[in-house]
Amino acid sequence: MDRNRIALAVTFVVTILSLLVGLINLASSTSSSKLTKVDGGSGFGTDRLGAALIRIEGEIHSGSSSYESAGAQTILEQLRAVEDDSNMVGVLIEINSPGGSVGASQEIYKEIMYLRKEKNKKVVVSMKDIAASGGYYIASAADKIYALGGTLTGSIGVIAIAPNIKGLLDRYGVKVRTFKEGKYKDSLSLFRDNTAEEDAMIQKMLSDTYEEFVEDVAKGRNQTVKFVEALAEGRVYSGQDAFRNKLVDDIGGRREALAELSKLCNYEGTLPLYEEETNPWDKFFQLLQAKSGGIFGGEKAILQELKRSPVLVLYPQAMAW
């Protein structure tokens, strides 16, 4: 009898959850995104004109944004929605991110540059607690950058980390057999040391990416590569130090950044600031995913710590445990 009751209870819970997920997906697919006014709007300008607010919060990665991370696909969709909207004359990007994957950061950087150069939209960045490495990479594409005095920024550098547990396995007599087709297929393996040739190959990849990082920052900031190189190599700066070294343009928060954006857009007063309205079902579902991740597995703590490191990280396949 007890077993039947348990089975019935489990079936009921699964049915309710399935129904809830179905409703969430239905609401998400049928609702259209809207822009909601969140700030600004004073002065003599017409409220038909405004600026879009885009937030980049958490680790930067490919795909869609989650409750606590910034997905390049989501950010790109928001930027592209501004491209042909004549009422949106500028973009205010708020960054609070330690960085993330190279490709995702580069995609967002290039889209901002396109928005500025090809679509004649003005872009200002407002840095929050941290805008380092990938976060700074993206910020460097803007017309102007504002940081708070205590913002952690800079960290122009690239890193790839692959743990090696060969010594531990050898100690306990554990053998791992690897079958591969391709000489370098298991480079950065957990279970063996790299060869000198493989180390050189990985270092070349990092060097190429680092060189592109520096060149892109120089282009975005209208500086020479030599100027950026002198401030790079992974160095981190406070907002005040970044201002002294011309990595950011001024000290301030949203108020100051929005005032500068209004000025760049030749708007008398303060531009109305609009943000894409998030479907409440999406918020609920993302929060549910974030909460359940700690219960039902998710990423290992060491990998989470590496992702929080203020550097632009390359994630080799060997790290996808």
3-class SS of residue 10: helix
Place of tokens 């030749």: 266
Which of 105, 126, 133, 262 is labelled catalytic?
Answer: 133
Q: What is the C-alpha to C-alpha distance for residues 304 and 319, in angstroms, rounded to an integer?
A: 11
Cα separation values, 52 from 40, 125, 203, Å: 11, 12, 40
b/e map 102-119, b = 16+ CB within 10 Å: bebbbbbbebbbebbeee
Cα separation values, 39 from 121, 261, 275, 303, Å: 19, 13, 9, 37
Burial-class residue 152 by CB neighbours within 10 Å (0-12, 13-18, 19+): buried
3-class SS of residue 111: helix
Place of tokens 């795909």: 63
Burial-class residue 216 by CB neighbours within 10 Å (0-12, 13-18, 19+): buried
Q: What is the C-alpha to C-alpha distance for residues 285 and 24, in angstroms, rounded to an integer?
A: 8
Asked about 185 being catalytic, the answer comes back as yes
Which of 185, 283, 291, 300 is labelled catalytic?
Answer: 185
Q: What is the C-alpha to C-alpha distance for residues 145 and 305, in angstroms, rounded to an integer?
A: 27
- In sequence order, what DSSP letters do the residues of 240-298 get, joined into one string? HHHHHTTSSSEE--HHHHHHHHHHHTT-SS---EEEEPPPHHHHHHHHHHHHHHTTS--
Asked about 133 being catalytic, the answer comes back as yes
Q: Which residues are catalytic?
A: 133, 185
